Homo-oligomer: A and B are copies of this chain.
Amino acid sequence: MKNIRMKVARIERDMKQEDLAQLVGVTRQTIGLIEAGKYNPSLKLCIAICHALGKTLDELFWEETP
């Protein structure tokens, strides 16, 4: 499922996918695919993205429904 929260948080910070990618040390494609919901990212990467965007795991990646 698409991660719209992550995309919104990124745009709030006026970042391109590539900006975020460089900040967290991955490729632009990886960021795009995570936003598109086509990747199941690693915990470390999730945490790095959160720090880069000033959010927490729950704010960007939590899902209530089991």
* Chain A residues engaging chain B, CB cutoff 8 angstroms: 40-44, 46-48, 50-51, 56-58, 61-63, 66
B41, B48, B58, B66: the one contacting A43 at CB < 8 Å is B41
Cα A43 to Cα B40 in complex, Å, equals 6
The residues of B that contact A61 with a CB separation of less than 8 Å are: 43, 47, 57
Total copies of this chain within the assembly:
2
Consensus secondary structure, chain A interface: helix
Choose one: B44, B58, B63; the contact of A58 (CB below 8 Å).
B58
- Bound-state Cα–Cα, A51 to B42, Å: 18
Q: How far is the CA of A51 from the CA of B41 in the complex (A)?
A: 18
On whether A42 and B44 interact (CB within 8 A), knowing A57-B57, A57-B58, A66-B51, the answer reads: no
